[in-house]
Amino acid sequence: MTEEAHELLQKALALSENERAELAGNLISSLDGTVDQDADAAWQQEVVRRLHDLQSGKVETVSWEEVQQKGRTLLHGK
């Protein structure tokens, strides 16, 4: 990392959480110069499919607490 980049990082880290999040989002967006229309369309179809599955009762939601517990069990074997 250059000295200039390091200085910018130090200034960025001094920002509020919301300002850091906005800055990070803008930096990430600047790296993604092209949008794959096929991928975007595929994600839209997937969102619609998942919503339909949820609304029809085909799938059920899982609470965040249950997800956390399952994750801990998988990671720690407890």
Token pair 């600047």 in the structure block, residue: 30
N- to C-terminal Cα distance for the chain? 41
How far is 46 from 3, CA to CA, in rounded Å?
Answer: 44
pLDDT digits (tens, 9 = 90+) for 7-40: 999 999 999 999 999 999 999 888 877 777 788 8
Distance, CA of 49 to chain centre: 20
How far is 40 from 34, CA to CA, in rounded Å?
Answer: 11
- Mean of pLDDT over the chain: 92
